[in-house]
């Protein structure tokens, strides 16, 4: 679908006008002659309406769409939550005071005006609004029934995707199944965490019934939601509830069954070489269950861009980046001896990266390391990187099933699943362009010594087995924005924080009955006031 993002302008303009979700979008009028009454009578328009919903998932910065005053919302990056708020990452940047919103997240000293948090809230509800335009109007359209079914499934998946991002960070949120009118804006209520998850699960189950498998899509549609992606996110949502608020009474058997379904579909496999996963050749590959699509263009900041600012924010300040999200020594030390994934994940001083010598200057770096997974060659516009962001990989399916197997008295099966991931890892080459300045794409052999990453021993059970699975998740998905959520759902997060930060985080812990205590982000100040929503604890 990467090539299709250039064609979303009709959908962008139309759905911004027709799909209100929060107050900033309530009073827009339809643009042009295409309206909700005829939008889904034309297959091109119908596809572009769904494309516009995907497009919101790709926004990491820019003004609120359609605002004539250009009202600005700041960047939002999943690594700012999933990596930076953990022991895997420090802020970095040009100085310790650079990029205040990141400092606020890292220290749990977060005002309700924090730009990263506000943008997560605003963009999520924008995406929900656009998904609702499709969900509520497509059934009356006259387009082909099979296309109609697929597009509705994609919209249901995307609505669930946006709500899942919201509930993890904010707790229970308002649930919109249709657009609201301005007079209703002050009567919005917050659902509970369990109710929000039930809403997400309903959408994902419906999406799984409507969506095709991955191989049923044409090449031009690569990256669209699939049956496998819906089942994978359902498994992930249930797994997260099992360690937090499990008001829907889920079991590990459900996670086991859902991941088994994805595996049995035969749609996915591990790439042979771990070093290729985050390169161009790894985009929309057999390992990709869902990833956000980006492409090269010459635009800079703003949601009109086809690219992302994700790369420039994380790249070395000595090359073309801003130098944020620096891996910690704690993370580096987690890798076992000679694990090829360490070099594929971490840039250290004087490493050659994609044929470019990288000097790590500690005056603009907090730890001595950068994230190699986000390293790309500089695009035409530095703020418009073309690298897709992987959201769920097949190795995650294997390790989710391994954890479910361990939790349901199937230790032998859990060990075998973890060993699949370890076996692939030890066969990896060095990352591309790591040997010679000026040569960006050669994959030199890693010459990994025999005995590296040995298989987990037979007979491993109980907490030692879970610890091994959690270790494997940390190194397999290092700097992929999963660490925070894994720590939270396994009850380990608060203990990783310095005492002062832990005290602040503890003052924001969700008040609903939970398996493990976990803190919540503040609700965007504007919408908390406009919608008359109760704020989260401690804000």
Residue 30 has pLDDT above 90, yes or no: no
Q: What does the alpha-carbon distance between residue 203 and residue 192 come to, in Å, rounded to a whole number?
A: 17
pLDDT per residue as tens digits for the range 288-304 = 999 999 998 888 887 77
Distances (CA, A) of 515 to 138, 498, 504: 40, 22, 20
Q: At a CB cut-off of 8 Å and minimum separation 6, what does 265 contact?
A: 213, 227, 228
We report the CATH number of the domain holding residue 430 as 1.25.40.390
Q: How many domains does the chain have?
A: 2
User: Angle 9-18/43-57 helices, nearest 10 degrees?
Assistant: 80
pLDDT value of position 479? 98
Please check whether residue 81 lies inside any domain of the structure: no
Residues 411 and 534 grouped into a single domain:
no
Please check whether residue 299 lies inside any domain of the structure: yes
Residue 7 has pLDDT above 50, yes or no: no
Mean predicted lDDT score pLDDT of the chain: 92
Over residues 438-449, the mean pLDDT reads: 97
Residue 14 has pLDDT above 70, yes or no: no
Q: What does the alpha-carbon distance between residue 15 and residue 30 come to, in Å, rounded to a whole number?
A: 8
Residues 416 and 529 grouped into a single domain:
no
pLDDT value of position 183? 75
Parent domain of 338? 220-475
pLDDT value of position 10? 39
Residue 24 has pLDDT above 50, yes or no: no
Over residues 144-160, the mean pLDDT reads: 98
pLDDT per residue as tens digits for the range 187-237 = 899 999 999 999 999 999 999 999 999 999 999 999 999 999 999 999 999
Q: Residue 213, Cα to own-chain centre: how many angstroms?
A: 21
Please check whether residue 101 lies inside any domain of the structure: no
- Listed residue (359, 376, 346, 361) closest to 479, CA to CA: 346
Please check whether residue 270 lies inside any domain of the structure: yes
pLDDT value of position 304? 77
Please check whether residue 26 lies inside any domain of the structure: no
Please check whether residue 485 lies inside any domain of the structure: no
User: Angle 145-170/43-57 helices, nearest 10 degrees?
Assistant: 20
Residues 178 and 283 grouped into a single domain:
no
Token pair listed for 159: 């609505």
We report the CATH number of the domain holding residue 151 as 1.25.40.890
Residues 229 and 207 grouped into a single domain:
no
Residues 358 and 327 grouped into a single domain:
yes
Please check whether residue 467 lies inside any domain of the structure: yes
Residues 226 and 207 grouped into a single domain:
no
pLDDT value of position 302? 76
Q: For the chain, how many helices (H) and strands (E)?
A: 18, 10
Largest CA distance in the chain: 69
Residue 410 vs residue 33, higher pLDDT: 410
* pTM of this prediction exceeds 0.75: yes
pLDDT per residue as tens digits for the range 95-139 = 999 999 999 999 999 999 999 999 999 999 999 999 999 999 999
Residues 243 and 113 grouped into a single domain:
no
Residues 415 and 530 grouped into a single domain:
no
Placement of tokens 């950068």 in the chain? 370
pLDDT band with cut points at 50, 70 and 90 for residue 461:
very high
Over residues 5-24, the mean pLDDT reads: 39
Please check whether residue 229 lies inside any domain of the structure: yes
Integer distance in angstroms from the first to the last C-alpha of the chain?
41
Residues 239 and 351 grouped into a single domain:
yes
Residues 266 and 207 grouped into a single domain:
no
Residues 424 and 507 grouped into a single domain:
no
- The lowest-confidence range among 412-421, 489-498, 525-534 is 525-534
Domain boundary among 475, 509, 526: 475
pLDDT per residue as tens digits for the range 357-375 = 999 999 999 999 999 999 9
Q: What does the alpha-carbon distance between residue 101 and residue 443 come to, in Å, rounded to a whole number?
A: 38
pLDDT value of position 182? 72
Over residues 440-460, the mean pLDDT reads: 97
Residue 251 has pLDDT above 60, yes or no: yes
Residues 265 and 378 grouped into a single domain:
yes
pLDDT value of position 419? 98
């Amino acid at each position: 679908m990467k090539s299709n993002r250039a064609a979303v302008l009709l959908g962008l303009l139309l759905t911004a006008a027709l799909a209100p979700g929060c107050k900033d979008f309530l009073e827009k009028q339809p643009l042009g002659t295409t309206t909700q009454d005829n939008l889904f009578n034309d297959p091109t328009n119908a596809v572009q309406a769904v494309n516009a919903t995907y497009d919101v998932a790709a926004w990491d910065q820019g003004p609120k769409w359609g605002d004539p005053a250009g009202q600005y919302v700041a960047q939002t990056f999943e690594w700012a939550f999933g990596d930076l708020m953990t022991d895997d990452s420090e802020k970095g940047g040009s100085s310790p005071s650079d990029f205040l919103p990141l400092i606020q997240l890292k220290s749990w000293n977060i005002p309700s005006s924090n730009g990263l948090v506000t943008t997560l809230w605003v963009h999520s509800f924008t995406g929900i609004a656009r998904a609702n335009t499709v969900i509520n109007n497509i059934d009356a359209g006259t387009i082909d029934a099979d296309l109609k079914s697929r597009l509705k499934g994609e919209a249901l998946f995307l609505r669930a995707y946006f709500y899942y991002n919201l509930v993890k960070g904010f707790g229970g949120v308002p649930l919109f199944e249709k657009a609201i009118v301005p007079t209703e804006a002050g009567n919005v209520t917050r659902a509970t965490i369990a109710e929000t998850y039930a809403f997400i699960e309903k959408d994902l189950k419906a999406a799984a019934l409507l969506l095709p498998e991955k191989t049923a899509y044409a090449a031009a549609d690569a990256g669209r939601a699939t049956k496998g992606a819906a089942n994978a996110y359902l498994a992930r949502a249930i797994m997260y509830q099992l360690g937090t608020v499990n008001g829907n009474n889920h079991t590990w058997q459900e996670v086991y069954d859902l991941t088994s379904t994805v595996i049995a579909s035969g749609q996915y496999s591990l790439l042979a070489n771990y070093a290729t996963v985050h390169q161009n050749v790894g985009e929309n590959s057999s390992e990709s269950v869902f990833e956000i699509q980006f492409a090269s263009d010459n635009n800079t900041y703003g949601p009109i861009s086809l690219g992302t600012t994700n790369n420039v924010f994380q790249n070395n300040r000595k090359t073309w980046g801003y130098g944020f999200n620096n891996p910690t020594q704690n993370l580096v030390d987690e890798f076992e001896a000679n694990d090829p994934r360490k070099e594929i994940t971490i840039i250290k001083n004087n490493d050659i990266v994609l044929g470019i010598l990288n000097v790590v200057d500690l005056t603009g770096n907090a730890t001595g390391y950068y994230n190699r997974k986000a390293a790309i060659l500089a695009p035409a516009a530095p703020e418009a990187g073309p690298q897709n962001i992987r959201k769920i990989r097949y190795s995650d399916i294997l390790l989710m099933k391994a954890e479910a197997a361990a939790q349901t008295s199937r230790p032998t099966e859990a060990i075998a699943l973890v060993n699949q991931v370890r076996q692939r890892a030890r066969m990896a080459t060095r990352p591309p362009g790591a040997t010679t300045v000026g040569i960006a794409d050669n994959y030199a052999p890693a010459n990994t010594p025999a005995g590296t990453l040995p298989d987990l021993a037979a007979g491993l059970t109980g907490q030692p087995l879970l610890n091994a699975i959690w270790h494997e998740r940390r190194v397999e998905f290092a700097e992929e924005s999963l660490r925070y959520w894994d720590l939270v759902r396994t009850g380990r997060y608060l203990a990783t924080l310095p005492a002062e930060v832990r005290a602040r985080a503890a003052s924001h812990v969700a008040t609903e009955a939970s398996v493990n205590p976990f803190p919540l982000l503040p609700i965007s100040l504007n919408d908390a006031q406009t919608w008359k929503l109760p704020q989260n604890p401690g804000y």
